[in-house]
Amino acid sequence: MAAVLTWAGLLAGCSAGGSGGLDLDRVLGKPPAPEDVIRVAPDDGSKEVRPEQRLRVRVPGGRLEKVTVVKDQDAQDSPVAGHISADGLTWEPEDKRLALAAKYTVDAVALDARGHRSARHTTFTTYVPEERFIGYVTPENRATVGTGMIVSLSFSREITHRAAVERAVRVTANPPVEIRPHWFGATRLDFRPERYWKPGTEVTVDLGLRDVEGAPGAYGLQDKTFTFTVGRSQMSLVDAARHMMDVRRDGQLLASVPITAGAPKHPTYNGKMVVMDMLEVTRMNSRTVGFGGEYDIPDVPHAMKLTDSGTFLHGNYWNPDAPGRVNVSHGCVGLLDVKGGSSDTPAGWFFDRSLVGDVVEVVNSKDKTVAPDNGLGGWNMAWKVWKAGSAVK
């Protein structure tokens, strides 16, 4: 009877939490549960895990043999790079920030302190944001542009965490040149070098915006790369007082073309402007640029957009005697053309030899210099001032 009671008492004392209790699993040689050997954070089955939460696999003793982590995002599986520490006790990913709207799968194998091998399989899902943002890039991917092109990103919502977004965008060139960013307000970020690009330069724009928080609760969607090539150098100097435009290609004068600039009541902006778009024909309505009903021309030929506010360099067939003699426009630069357009006219000749990204500079007009954020007018800003517009100090 005493022996039976003693054995019963021994069993009663075998509890994990009892003070002075006996670990029966250890006595009998039973291996511990995998979750006691391999600790994974975030916990198995966790949902809505925030991107700043730490992903970590560890063992309190023994060593990790192998850890495999797979990220399923947008129905695409990709391995998560990481490393096991020198002491074998922990594994951590190289990228400390978790992806949003993703499912993570963790498979780990470890040896505990007594040489028992354990394996653990866990999953968790990350936070799915209600709001996303993207950046619309100028110029287009794979475009060939003029030497005055400025890389411009227009965001789909206001950006308050500007430094984080700026760090996520990388603009590089071959041959290398220093390229710096400048913010215009809360929705636009431009990049340019100190001087015009050299012909033949290849420019790469890496948008690493995916999962970057641009504003509270709003995360980027894009992880893309854009490239463009800088073509030949063409610079055109419009002299509003002389009613002429000198066109230079790679430093050599190609032609002097008669123009008509803005009339005294509506002068053309001075300063450097960049061709943003080229249209064989377009409609120009004065109401769209704040002039009332002064004109509505449905078929303006050879139209090249210079500013967001509506400045164009275009063909003019309705005032054939104006180019070279008098300024009659509402702020645009007009070249002689015919109705329907023709390559044989000065406007057609210039249009056929131009690229998006070419620079058109206006001088001797009785108006102010175009604002740096009106179109791609950033070349009118001093380099020191441009660099000061970065959010990363």
What amino acid positions are annotated as catalytic residues? 314, 332
Q: Which long-range contacts (CB under 8 A, 24 or more apart) does 140-145 make?
A: 140/228, 141/226, 141/227, 141/228, 142/227, 142/228, 142/229, 143/228, 143/229, 143/356, 144/228, 144/229, 144/230, 144/231, 144/355, 145/228, 145/229, 145/230, 145/231, 145/355, 145/356, 145/357
CA distance 380 to 323: 27
Are 330 and 295 in contact, with CB atoms under 8 Å apart?
Answer: yes
Q: Which helix (H) or strand (E) holds 387?
A: helix 383-387
CA distance 100 to 94: 16
Q: What is the sign, positive or negative, of the torsion defined by CA atoms of 328, 330, 334, 338?
A: negative
